[in-house]
Chains A and B, each alone.
Chain A
Amino acid sequence: MTSSAAIGRRVAPLLACIGLLAAWQVAALALKNDSFPTALEAMRAVPAILGDKEALINILASLRRMAIGFAAAVAVSIPLGLLMGRSRTVAAFFNPLLMVIYPVPKAALMPIIMLWLGVGDIAKTLVIFLGVSLPVIYHSFEGAKAVEEKMLWSGAAMGLSAAQCLVRIVLPAALPEILTGCRTGLVLALITMITSEMIARQSGAGNILFNALDMGQYDTVFAMIIIVGAMGIGLDAAFEKVRARLVRWSEPQFDMPLSFS
């Protein structure tokens, strides 16, 4: 690949951002709606939010919950997914349960979990954990299923135990697919974080967003949308960097994850 193409690839998303903001600006100017501020007005409100100490603490608390929920989900889901991929019995055991849980919005469990655990951090982190788990399990499962049988035979012939095979052969071989799942999970963690805070309405980024909506502070609403959107795009880009480093040997199938479920 030539370097100009590489530069183009790096600049293109930036251009897309600018284009979207410009389209927003034009639309807002054309509509002249009180509840629809222009992109510039919204961006001017961003520093005010980030400068406000309480808002900043709220947002950081949200991010902390998200990080804990995401890490816990990844730690549990990858081994489970790999086991499901390698053992038909384990897969048959868990698959129907997962299919039943899949269409249930995890954030919708928030009211029930709040009844049991209160509105604190535990409830919100648990919801994020649930939301992230499913795609990670699914992709680990698919990845482990696709591991070439011959490699496992070679491993077994060289005297690796089943557990060693799983860690030394299946895990690295399934890693590209697992990381695709993690990437989906990361975006999902952000979505679940916002929704859970929106429903619990006590603290966090989602709370700021919807409180501003209720109070008619439209600048703040749109500024929060910019902040949350930037978080999503930033986290995704950062993760993509890590992924590219970890699985340098595997040419990415496609540079965007397919499932944002």
Chain B
Amino acid sequence: MTSRALSTDVLLGLLPIALLIALWQGLVSFELAPVALLPPPGLVFSRLLQQLVTFSFQQEIIATLFRLFTGFLIAVALGVGVGMVAAASPAINATVRPLVRVLAPLPKVALYPALLLLLGFGHESKIALVAADALFPILLSTYYGASTVEQKLIWSAMAAGTPRREILLKVVLPAAMPSILTGCRIGLVISCIVVFLAEMITSTDGLGHVLITAARTFQAVDMFVPLITISLLGLILNALLQAARSYLLRGFPEA
């Protein structure tokens, strides 16, 4: 793709976002929606900028990010580990497969009350929920990636005398990397969503809690701020993961 076509695409992509904001502004300007219910975009964004530099709001973001990352990392470790092992060993596969089949379509949010009762109202229950929700896409894409590794690669490694465990780490893992990273990307978006929801349900800090506090006091402006913040966080994290992906997958035919 030429750079010119790329910049046209970018402009075209910005258009609906601009239109949406224009519509939003229009609704307020023509007084079709009362300001109390739909604050003008200018007010919301200036409020966002104003909030972003305050210490208390930064604390909320840090609390959210901490839970998000811890949960996500647990999900990555478990998902990649179990996925790889399940792809390598038929016996473990036979155990893991039905379990995943039952647990994956289970709405994890419904487990949250149980997690609350077991782990308490602190960080642990929220981290557990994030990990439980992000786990399955990562596990499944790891398993899928690892079980579709070209057999010839494994045979070559075996012929060269590589021990089994090293084949898993040095051949299968790198070969499954594109699929694993796709799963991580999905898991990351889910983590963003879930951490926010968990904080909305029970929390004393974090972005979700900011939204709920605003909702209870009918501060429409303050309700938009955490939502835009989580959207921005999602975009930034996604970009970071994309950068990690192009670094990890250098040398792959199409990264």
Residues of A within 8 A of B (CB): 12-13, 15-17, 19-20, 33, 35-36, 88-89, 92-97, 99-109, 111-112, 115-116, 187, 190-191, 194-195, 198-199, 209-210, 212-213, 218, 221-222, 224-225, 228-229, 231-233, 235-236, 253-261
Contact = CB atoms under 8 A, between A and B. Distances in A.
A90 B145 CA distance: 31
A187 B13 CA distance: 29
B196 A105 contact: yes
B17 A259 contact: no
B234 A104 contact: yes
B62 to A, nearest CB: 18
B181 interface: no
Contact of A92 (B9, B98, B110, B116): B9
14 contacts: A12-B98, A96-B10, A103-B233, A104-B231, A105-B194, A108-B196, A111-B211, A112-B215, A116-B38, A218-B117, A258-B141, A259-B186, A260-B190, A261-B137
B105 to A, nearest CB: 4
Contact of A97 (B16, B140, B193, B223): B16
Contacts of A94: 13, 16
Contact of A199 (B9, B200, B238): B200
B192 interface: yes
B interface, how many residues as a size bin? Answer: 35 or more
A154 B253 CA distance: 30
B63 to A, nearest CB: 16
Given A16-B99, A229-B110, A103 B189 contact: yes
Nearest to A213: B113
B41 to A, nearest CB: 14
Contact of A233 (B105, B223, B233): B105
Contact of B107 (A101, A187, A261): A187
Contacts of B189: 102-103, 261
Leading 6 A-B pairs by shortest Cβ distance: A103-B234, A96-B13, A236-B105, A111-B215, A12-B98, A16-B98
B218 interface: yes
B167 interface: no
A105 B186 CA distance: 14
Contacts of B109: 191, 194-195, 198
Contacts of A107: 197, 200
A12 B97 contact: yes
A248 B231 CA distance: 39
B107 A190 contact: yes
B106 to A, nearest CB: 5
